[in-house]
Structure 1
Amino acid sequence: MQLTMHRRQAAGFSLIEALITMVVVGVGLLGLAKIQAAAVGNTQISRVRSLVALQTESLAAAMHGNRAFWAAGGTAPATFSVAGQTVTDSSNVLNQTLAPGQCLTGSPCTPQQLAAYDVQQWASTMNGNFPGYGATVNCTTTVGVPVNCNITVTWNEKYIAVNTPTASAAAAAAPTTQQSFTVYVQP
């Protein structure tokens, strides 16, 4: 008689054991989803940082390509800033208005006009890729000394808050942090 009772208890899982298993598997899947969301967010962040670095290097390359303006010592502005498509230059060299097609077709272009064209095209590209960015370029412009410039680009970066315990309307707008990237250039 005891033998039959023992067989009946070992016959299979109970409903509660199956439910506990489903809860454990569900929590595991939620953890995997959270890890996947963090990976996607970090991929986006690294993409933006790489593009900022590439775009900053493109301005440095344009400065190297126009040594008549940037490396002359005294002709390049000591500092200028860029926000959106607006170039702010106290010497009014880099923010001058160029005629459409100037510096592109066979029309001659002075080193000052080429520098203005390069900076304005760079600003337009940056604004298209990173709305709300800002850039500051500081150069040493002592005559007889090689020109050195620091290009600093700042932008707001959105990230996924994976450690937030609850979702709220305020958290729905992804948290942002300001980042910066600086390059030293000697045209």
Structure 2
Amino acid sequence: MSLHPSKQSHRRHGGMTLVEVLIAAVVLGIGLLGVAALQVNALQGSGNAQFRSKATDLTATLVDRVRANLDAINTYNTAAVTCAATQPADICSMDADDTTNSAADCTPDQMALYDLWDIRCKVEDTLPGGQITVACPGGCPANTPMQIIVSWQTQNANAAFRTEQVETTIIPGAPIFIPGTPVPGG
């Protein structure tokens, strides 16, 4: 038995060949591309969730404003709310720095127009391609559902744009019941 290996056995165990190294590099590259694709999808999902959260918050803000101003319910009924360059009825702004104006100085219709303008501008500023639509059938008679739709554009994995939206239907003036609390008169 010899302590020195023969040349023949030395060639068999000489290490990895160039082909094996190339195959390993290709497999590793494909794996890294998969990880990068997962990261891109996670970032897109996170951005879309953030936009949905902002849209939901802006919708809830408008719902609160509608419920606080039921006298001007028909003014809120508009197919397309616009964000003009100048705000309507400056007296409705209730700016913390402005001590001369207050919301009590404006009419319910002026307040509704200001509410629509304010929310529309916030939708346009915070959501890509953001739009808001407020509508109810027949001019918003009492106990009629009002539909508020906030929509925006997102990109999918193929870089194509698609429209996402948050749709809320309320009945202005209807009592609000919080789950787990007793129903009045019940």
**Shorter-chain TM-score: which interval?**
0.7 to 0.9
Higher Rg of the two aligned structures = 2
* TM norm structure 2: 0.72
Write out per-residue CA displacement over residues 39-59 of structure 1, whole angstroms, 9 at most, x where no aligned residue: 111211221122112111111
The residue aligned with 1:175 is 160
Alpha-carbon distance in 1 for matches of 2:21, 2:37: 25
Question: Equivalent residue of 1:82, what SS?
Answer: coil
* Higher RCO (CA-CA < 8 Å; seq separation 6+): 1
| Distance in structure 2 (CA, Å) of the matches to 1:24 and 1:53 | 43
Q: Is 1:85 aligned to 2:83, yes or no?
A: yes
Percentage identity across paired residues of the two chains: 25
Count, aligned residues: 158
State how far apart, in whole Å, the 2-side matches of 1:119 and 1:78 are.
7
Q: Matches of residues 156-171 of structure 1 in structure 2 within 5 Å?
A: 156-161=153-158
Q: Which residue pairs with 1:14 in the alignment?
A: 17
TM-score, normalised relative to structure 1: 0.72
Correspondence 1:130 to 2:121: no
Contact 1:153-1:181 within 8 A present in 2 as well: yes
State which of 65, 69, 72 in structure 2 corresponds to 1:62: 65
How large is the RMSD of aligned CA atoms in angstroms? 2.6
Amino acid at match of 1:97: P
Which string of whole-angstrom CA distances, capped at 9 and with x for unpartnered residues, describes residues 21-75 of structure 1?
Answer: 12211111111111111111121122112211211111111111223333xxxxx
CA shift in 2, pair 1:69/1:147, >3 Å? farther
- The answer (yes or no) to whether the contact 1:56–1:151 under 8 Å persists in 2 is yes
The CA distance in 1 between the partners of 2:150 and 2:44, in whole Å, is 21
1:150 correspondence with 2:147: yes
Q: Deviations over 1:1-38 (max 9, x none)?
A: 9x621243113222222222122111111111111111
Alignment check: 8 A CA contact 1:81 1:134 kept: no
More strand by share: 1
Q: CA deviation at 1:179?
A: 2.5
Are 1:120 and 2:105 counterparts? no
Unpaired runs of at least 5, structure 2: 95-100, 173-186
- 1:97 aligned onto 2:88: yes
